[in-house]
Structure 1
Amino acid sequence: MAGKLWSFSREGNNGVRRLLAASIFFFLSVFLFLSLLPSLKFLASLSLSAGASVIRSSSSPLPSGFPVPSLAYLISGTDGDEERLIRLLFAVYHPRNVYLLHLDLAAPEEQRRALADSVRAVRVFRSARNVHVMGKADFADPRGSSALSAVLHGAAVLLRLGVSWDWFVNLDASEYPLMTQDDILHIFSFLPRDLNFVRHSGHIGWRESRRLKPIIVDPGLYHSSKRDVMYATQKRELPNAYRLFSGSGSVILSRRFLDYCILGIENLPRTLLMYYANIPSSHSNYFQTLLCNSAKFSGSVVNSDLRYTSQNWSMGVLTVADIGELTQSGAAFAGRFEMNSPALDWIDRKLLNRQQGEILSGGWCLGKVTEGSCSVWGSPEVLNPGRGAQRLENLVVDHLSDDSFLSNQCK
């Protein structure tokens, strides 16, 4: 197929202009003089005020210089999550992406072998060769530091597996997408590849006494069987060599930043890793602190993980009653859901247009996806975004606007 094809709308290029405006705000806020910002606000108001929809229905190429990105997914679960991982994989699949599935050591070896067999049985996965299962698993206790170790391990493997992906996305088995991959890839096509989507805050509050001063030991780092995290009786003072930030363990990180974390010659990533080795739930603090204390990357942080989480802390899970709010949020993903929740069935039918037990289709498949096979393959660079792209566009533009981007960054 000659050239690259993308999906575009008959209704004009306003959605593109909005994303370009937001991207321009990002670059200029970081790299240009602050004296230019008043004029940019005026340009933004013009670019964002037109009213056409971002929804694309016909096939036309994007403007040159905006290639379709690739995402590297680390999808993690524990004992009993084999079926959940497969369902989540089917719901976020796209041939341009690369996927690594990790069942932690709490799951018996039989489940990992069954997971690998399930992946091998899908013809689309065999054809694209972009789905992998972690053979040597890790413990990943979210109460300790082994969860952070498992995420860094998965990121290192993905760096070796894929040479061209742009963003790293970690998903838990209890999370689920709220839009298609065509929607997400379409919007991310217009974004600077250095952006890092990480929910974070420097206002520690109650976390100081519960999450940052306690000293813990995670046996998952040195035992071959699952054991509870141990707490020391002593507590330590907060550091003054760097400022601590907290947030969520769910992140969308640029490849450049992960290269810095794992392969960079600066010692800050390793220094912070040693510090967080004995802190509770370090996976929800490490990337936030590293990004905001790095002169190279502090200007690339967007204060959002593009997830919708339950607002009902007593329940902690999302149900059909939350459908309205999570859809209107514009988030790309949501969690936590219970296994086989009716809410997931609703999302499959109404938001993803995905048949039960089938892989998520898209512009890459010209025919039908049935029994794990595409009847007529197209190009993975052809996207057919829907209404989810419009919702995500609105959310991303809000976060990258001049008033929101800098005022919520590493504060």
Structure 2
Amino acid sequence: MWQLEGAKCSFLFCLGISIIICSVIYLRASIPPPTAPKPPDPSCCRPFSTECKAVLPGTEIGFEWVRRDCQMDILNSHLQCSNLTKELHFITRPLSREEEDYPLAFIMTVHKELEVFVRLLRAIYMPQNVYCIHVDAKAPWEYQEAIRKLVSCFQNTFLSSRSETVTYAGFSRLQADVNCMRDLAKSKIGWRKVVNLCGQDFPVKSNLELVQYMQSKKWRDRNMTPGVKQPVSMRHRTELQHMEITGSHVVLKGMGMKKGPPPHNLQVYFGTAYYALTRAFVDFVLKSPIAQDLLEWSKDTFSPDEHYWVTLNHIKEAPGSHINGDWEGDIRAIKWKDQEGKTHNGCKGHYVRDICIYGIEDLPWIIETNSMFANKFERDTFPQVLDCLEQWHRNKVLSHSTVPIDPSWLLATQSNSSSSSYFNSSAGA
């Protein structure tokens, strides 16, 4: 009898196990596996403004450019790096031997507008270059995380090892650049010159044009720091002591406390905060007692990045110095309000702190200047300016390529499939 009961128990046990196994198999078959989110549908992209016809080739004879680029949510994207960079249209191969043999370094100081940062980075990105990204310590967590995620997809791109809480016109802005310089000095990539950028810049020259410009007879062994001897109207910046209200603004100390003279009897110069510097000059900045003393002296000045680089570049002992330099070097195309009617025909967007935020009708002027970069752009106010300029720039970059063009590098295609456009034919290669 007990044998019959044992057999019954064994049967029921096996039956239960079989039911469980079949249930698991059924559930697995009925529930679809998770899939990566699909990239945005190009048909949903914002179309190019009609004003783009003036700068995009082919539109004058009836062809239309159709955007393929729609920004994605990088932070919440589950795409692997290889797919993420492809969907964001990053160029993944050096486009010429000339560029490969002259790698550049870039310092990018950013704090807002993720989409603008992504568009700027991919416009200047080349795998032979190196990029140091300084993210303002006060930037939102989501912004910092999205940049960290994107940057991790590139071996030649990294975040600054030390992040500052940047204050407009404060020493922290200068310190952010110096922090990146210390990191770039350790890079194994043999970069030749370093260029600094902010989040509202965009390139006008292609990478090849930048390389050729920096290797031109005038600038081959020189630094570019446009500026002049400090005008009387600017002396209050360095003769009176200032202090940062962290992350907010800069104010005078007390009732206007006087500063001591600059170290080493240096003549103070005034210029732009933007530059193109040789690697030897960067080593001088990081190691020279003169540079270090000037950096320390500049801590309580107003907007020190507008005197620090140009002052050092007028020191005879500094590598690549340009002691007779003036407002030379086409670093930035900027429409200053007080230059309206003199160097430009007015701002077609609007002015912020006397600098033009470009409108769509400013595009021809930007392109004609043929500067290295243009400043400033705002996505929310005039989004189509960057759409047009970015497409114009990418067309130029790819037209200089000596290697087959990967279709993923295209930001837009021409709507007429029978077009003999270089980009359509290259995309099919």
Q: Same fold (TM over 0.5)?
A: yes
CA contact (8 A) 1:246 1:284 kept: yes
Q: Is the 8 A contact 1:251 1:305 kept in 2?
A: no
Shift of 1:154: 0.8
Deviations 1:103-129 (A, max 9, x none): 1112033322211212345xxx3xxx2
Q: Which blocks of at least 5 consecutive residues in structure 1 are unaligned?
A: 1-58, 221-225, 374-411
The structure with higher relative contact order (CA 8 Å, sep 6+) is: 1
Say whether residues 1:271 and 2:293 are aligned partners. yes
Pairing of 1:69-218 with structure 2 (within 5 A) = 69-78=102-111, 80-120=112-152, 125=154, 129-134=155-160, 136-191=162-217, 193-209=220-236, 211-218=237-244
Distance 1:161 1:299, change over 3 A: closer
Q: Which amino acid in the other structure matches residue 102 of structure 2?
A: P
Within-5 A mapping of 1:248-263 = 248-263=272-287
Q: Give the whole-Å Cα distance in 2 for the aligned partners of 1:67 and 1:274.
A: 37
Q: Deviations over 1:94-151 (max 9, x none)?
A: 1221011221112033322211212345xxx3xxx21212354212223211111111
Contact residue 292 and residue 298 of structure 1 kept, 8 A: no
1:3-402 residue pairs with structure 2 within 5 A? 68-78=101-111, 80-120=112-152, 125=154, 129-134=155-160, 136-191=162-217, 193-209=220-236, 211-218=237-244, 220=246, 226-232=247-253, 233-236=255-258, 239=261, 241-264=265-288, 267-297=289-319, 299-300=321-322, 302=325, 303-312=328-337, 315=351, 316=355, 317-339=357-379, 341-353=383-395, 363=401, 366-370=404-408
CA distance in 2, matches of 1:284, 1:305: 16
Q: State the SS of the aligned residue for 1:206.
A: helix
CA contact (8 A) 1:142 1:283 kept: no
Per the normalisation by structure 2, the TM-score is 0.62
Encode CA deviations 1:62-109: one digit per residue, 9 max, x unaligned: 7xxx9831110011111x332221110011111221011221112033
Q: Which amino acid aligns with 2:146?
A: A
> Structure 1 pair 157/193, CA: closer, same or farther in 2 (3 Å)?
farther
Distance 1:369 1:90 in 2: 15
Structure 1 or 2, whichever has the larger Rg, is 2
- The answer to whether the 8 A contact 1:245-1:289 is kept is yes
1:306-334 C-alpha deviation (Å, 9 max, x unpaired):
21112335712222222222222120101
User: Which residue identity does 1:160 align to in structure 2?
Assistant: K
Do the aligned residues in 1 keep the contact of 2:222 with 2:320 (CA within 8 Å)?
no
Matched residue SS, 1:239: coil
Question: What RMSD in Å do the two structures reach over aligned CA positions?
Answer: 3.1
| CA deviations over 1:216-275 (Å, ceiling 9, x no partner) | 12254xxxxx354342122326737221101111111111101001023xx110111111
For 2:147, the aligned partner's letter is: L
Q: Distance in 1 between matches of 2:121 and 2:248?
A: 29
TM-score computed with the length of structure 1 as normaliser: 0.64
Assess, with a 3 A threshold, how the Cα gap between structure 1 residues 362 and 134 changes in structure 2: closer, same or farther.
farther
> CA 1:119–1:299 in structure 2 vs 1: closer, same or farther (change >3 Å)?
closer
Quick check: 168-177 or 189-198, which moved more? Answer: 189-198
Q: Cα 1:119–1:365, aligned 2, differ >3 Å: closer, same or farther?
A: farther
Residue deviations 1:283-327 (CA, integer Å, cap 9, x gap): 111011112134344743653252111233571222222222222
Structure 2 unaligned blocks of 5 or more: 1-94, 339-349, 412-429
Cα gap change, 1:237 to 1:215, in 2 (>3 Å): closer
Cα distance change, pair 190–67 in 1 and its aligned pair in 2 (3 A): farther
Task: Give aligned pairs, total.
Answer: 294
